Amino acid sequence: MVEHRAIGFTTLCIGALCGTLTGCTGRGLAVDDAASGGVAPVSGREMMQILEDYTYGHMPPPPGNVTAVPVSGPTEITTTSGVDAVYRKLHLSFGPGGELGFDVGLFFPKANAAPDGEAEARPVLISLSFGSGEDSLGRAAGALARGYAVATIGYQELGADSPDYASSAFFPA
């Protein structure tokens, strides 16, 4: 006998959806369990698998041949919220023959910037934006004030909007 579990977000709180979900308490996650007739808790790993299978799709394997080429050197900027930052633009290439790629704008808090030639690990917030230039930071500037680095990526470079959905940035490869 195959156990069947139907997803019933009885206690999952998801932002604006919270009010529409039955029994939402914000405490955890459970699914309706047809085998037992009740509700069974779901682990985070199991929930990620369910979301991968039924909502977001599976991640492709890493390409293994990613290269980054600087498009612009480090530039000191001040965000509209007054945070001093270091900005650099890179072009990432990957896939067969390096055919695929996109630009990434990297922003680091100036107070935490590593000296030239030294790499410093730090958490990075990825922000999909209208571009990857110096003006692409937008509301993610608040993360810089808290010490995070921010990577901005123009969403059109990842999958361009087109009526036929066939001329996206990555489909032709």
User: 105-126: per-residue pLDDT in tens?
Assistant: 999 888 755 555 555 677 889 9
* End-to-end alpha carbon distance in the chain: 43
Split at pLDDT 50, 70, 90, the class of 166 is low
Candidate from 90-99, 128-137, 158-167 with smallest mean pLDDT:
158-167
What does the alpha-carbon distance between residue 48 and residue 51 come to, in Å, rounded to a whole number? 5
The whole-angstrom distance between residue 139's C-alpha and the CA centroid of its chain comes to 15
7-21 pLDDT, tens digit each: 444 333 333 333 333
The whole-angstrom distance between residue 59's C-alpha and the CA centroid of its chain comes to 12
Candidate from 15-19, 73-77, 140-144 with smallest mean pLDDT:
15-19
Q: In what order do the strands lie in the sheet with 149-154?
A: 67-78, 84-94, 100-109, 149-154, 124-129
Two structure tokens written together for 141: 């500037």
Mean of all residue pLDDT scores within the chain: 73
The whole-angstrom distance between residue 57's C-alpha and the CA centroid of its chain comes to 14
Provide the β-strand partners of residue 69. Answer: 91
**Which helix (H) or strand (E) element contains residue 49?**
helix 44-51
Candidate from 34-43, 89-98, 112-121 with smallest mean pLDDT:
112-121
CA atoms within 13 A on the CB side of 56: 9
Q: Is pLDDT larger for residue 21 or for residue 136?
A: 136
